[in-house]
């Protein structure tokens, strides 16, 4: 049997999460939707709001300066976290959704012409589908889908064939599926796409909290993620884009901050990243994000990975013992990360999720914003167990009997 060496002190980690200290049972298995926040993140935001808060890049007084410094420090934290070369390659957004929309609205709108194509995989989240379908409606670009096999592996032959067509300008794909927990080999795929002169955008919403990400090593052209999935606050996320791309991309939203100069008859945009950050940014959230990334940075990725692999092993073993349960996605737990979704023959996901919720188990039911994937799998909805570094094997194991109790309630 494979032994997974775990050197993460989960008890100590759990103690740092106020939300996990409830007196009633609270088994949070929905981190793929949003992560709970450690005390240090809450404290940082609170202290900053109380003592140092002011708008950024505006007032010429010490508090504003300090706020600006903290905001720019957050940019540096993100740069270092994703190992980008330049700070100006990090644009703050509201989250992954806005980041992906920014690529489509700015780069896509300015660059793509009728006949050009954007390739997506069937694993994508709606936020990496709809912006491209909008461009298809507006500009007549093609949206080309790359298939997956029954375990969720991206069809590399189809990908190669599609890339050879020569009109793929961008491949926009997830780094880790928010439904199947499968992790496409993005480094390899990016290299292949580049050989066909296609750019690559990575939706790292899920990947970012489970594995180290280095945009320089990946050599991706864009990468999007949300703060709330890396134990940070909601309302902030980032888009990484290569500097040369940002130079030629037009602004996204118009307003304050994003301009160098405004006259009655026109404006000159500021340089990146300000060019893409119109309006007052999420300043308090930026402080929270810095705290989250610092907190996460103190834990070794190899320990996180080992712990989460052990959880996944338990999740697979637990689900497999339940009659009528079918795991979607990889057959081997070693290939799954972050989440595992399943359906149960005799019970609708909504009913299971509701009944499990009554016992304090928080699991998401539905299509998880991935309808094309669910359609491909031939199911309307699924139930998802998602795992994080604060979950324990006992929590995951206790899910088994809870599911069986729920099924019993439903079918009698």
Partner 1 sequence: MDLYAEHILEHHRHPRQKSPIANRTIEHTENNPACGDAITLELKIVKEMITDCGWGGSGCALSQAGISMLVEKLKQMPIEDAISLSPEDMRALLGVPLTTRRLQCAFLPLLTLRNVIRKWKGKPLQTWAELFEEDLA
Ligand X SMILES: Cc1ncc(COP(=O)(O)O)c(C=O)c1O
Applying CB under 6 A, the residues found at the interface with ligand X are 33, 95-97, 125, 127-128, 174, 178, 203, 205-206, 226, 369
412 binds partner 1 (CB under 8 A): yes
- Cα first-last separation, the chain: 37
- Cα separation, 365 vs 379, in Å, equals 12
Residue 109 contacts which entry, ligand X, partner 1, none (Cβ below 5-8 A, type-dependent): none
Do the beta carbons of residue 384 and residue 339 sit within 8 Å? yes
Asked if 369 is an active-site residue, the reply is: yes
- Cα separation, 26 vs 2, in Å, equals 30
Helix (H, G, I), strand (E, B) or coil at 161: helix
Look at strands 361-362 and 27-28 and give their pairing: parallel
Shortest reach from residue 357's CB to partner 1, in Å: 9
Q: Which of residues 30 and 277 has its CB atom nearest to partner 1 in the complex?
A: 30
Catalytic residue (one of 337, 339, 344, 369): 369
Residues in 333-372 that interact with partner 1 by CB under 8 A: 348-351, 354-355, 358, 365-367, 371
Phi, psi of 70 (to 5 degrees): -65, -40
Strand-pairing partners, residue 347, are 344
Element (H, E) at 247: helix 243-248
x-or-dash string of contact with partner 1, 365-394, rule CB under 8 A: xxx---x--x----xxx-------------
Q: Which of residues 252 and 269 has its CB atom nearest to ligand X in the complex?
A: 252
Shortest reach from residue 379's CB to ligand X, in Å: 18
Strand-pairing partners, residue 92, are 238
Q: Which of residues 67 and 203 has its CB atom nearest to ligand X in the complex?
A: 203
Residue 315 contacts which entry, ligand X, partner 1, none (Cβ below 5-8 A, type-dependent): none
Do the beta carbons of residue 190 and residue 219 sit within 8 Å? yes
Q: Which of residues 225 and 390 has its CB atom nearest to ligand X in the complex?
A: 225
405 binds partner 1 (CB under 8 A): no
- Cα separation, 372 vs 364, in Å, equals 18
Closest CA to 227 of 107, 369, 75, 336: 75
Residue 97 contacts which entry, ligand X, partner 1, none (Cβ below 5-8 A, type-dependent): ligand X
* Interacting residues toward partner 1 by CB under 8 A: 348-351, 354-355, 358, 365-367, 371, 374, 379-381, 409-412
Active site members:
369
């Amino acid at each position: 049997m494979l032994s997974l060496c775990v050197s993460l002190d989960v008890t100590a980690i759990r103690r740092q999460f106020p939300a996990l200290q409830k007196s009633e049972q609270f088994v949070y298995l929905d981190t793929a939707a949003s992560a709970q926040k450690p005390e240090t993140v809450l404290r940082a935001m609170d202290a900053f709001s109380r003592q140092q808060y002011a708008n950024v890049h505006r007032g010429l007084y010490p508090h504003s300066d300090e706020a600006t410094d903290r905001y720019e420090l957050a940019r540096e934290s993100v740069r270092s976290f994703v190992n980008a070369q330049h700070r100006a390659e990090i644009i703050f957004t509201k989250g992954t959704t806005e980041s992906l929309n920014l690529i489509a609205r700015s780069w896509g709108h300015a660059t793509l012409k009728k006949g050009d194509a954007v390739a997506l995989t069937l694993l994508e989240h709606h936020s990496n589908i709809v912006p491209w379908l909008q461009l298809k409606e507006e500009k007549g670009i093609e949206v080309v889908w790359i298939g997956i096999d029954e375990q969720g592996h991206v069809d590399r032959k189809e990908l190669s064939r599609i890339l050879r067509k020569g009109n793929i300008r961008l491949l926009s794909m997830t780094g880790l599926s928010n439904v199947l927990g499968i992790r496409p080999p993005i480094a390899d795929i990016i290299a292949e796409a580049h050989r066909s002169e296609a750019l690559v955008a990575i939706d790292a919403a899920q990947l970012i909290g489970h594995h180290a990400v280095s945009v320089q090593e990946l050599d991706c052209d864009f990468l999007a993620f949300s703060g709330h999935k890396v134990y940070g606050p909601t309302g902030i996320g980032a888009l990484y884009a290569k500097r040369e791309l940002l130079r030629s991309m037009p602004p996204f939203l118009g307003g304050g901050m994003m301009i160098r100069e405004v006259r009655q008859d026109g404006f000159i945009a500021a340089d990146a990243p300000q060019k893409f950050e119109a309006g007052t940014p999420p300043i308090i959230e930026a402080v929270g994000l810095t705290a989250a990334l610092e907190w996460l940075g103190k834990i070794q990725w190899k320990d996180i990975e080992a712990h989460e692999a052990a959880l996944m092993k338990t999740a697979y073993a637990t689900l497999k013992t339940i009659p009528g349960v079918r795991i979607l996605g990889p057959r081997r737990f070693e290939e799954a990360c972050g989440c595992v979704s399943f359906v149960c023959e005799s019970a609708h996901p909504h009913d299971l999720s509701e009944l499990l919720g009554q016992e304090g188990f928080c699991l998401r039911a539905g299509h998880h914003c991935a309808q094309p994937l669910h359609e491909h799998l031939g199911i309307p909805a699924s139930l998802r167990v998602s795992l994080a570094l604060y979950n324990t094997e006992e929590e995951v194991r206790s899910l088994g009997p809870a599911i069986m109790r729920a099924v019993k309630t439903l079918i009698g």
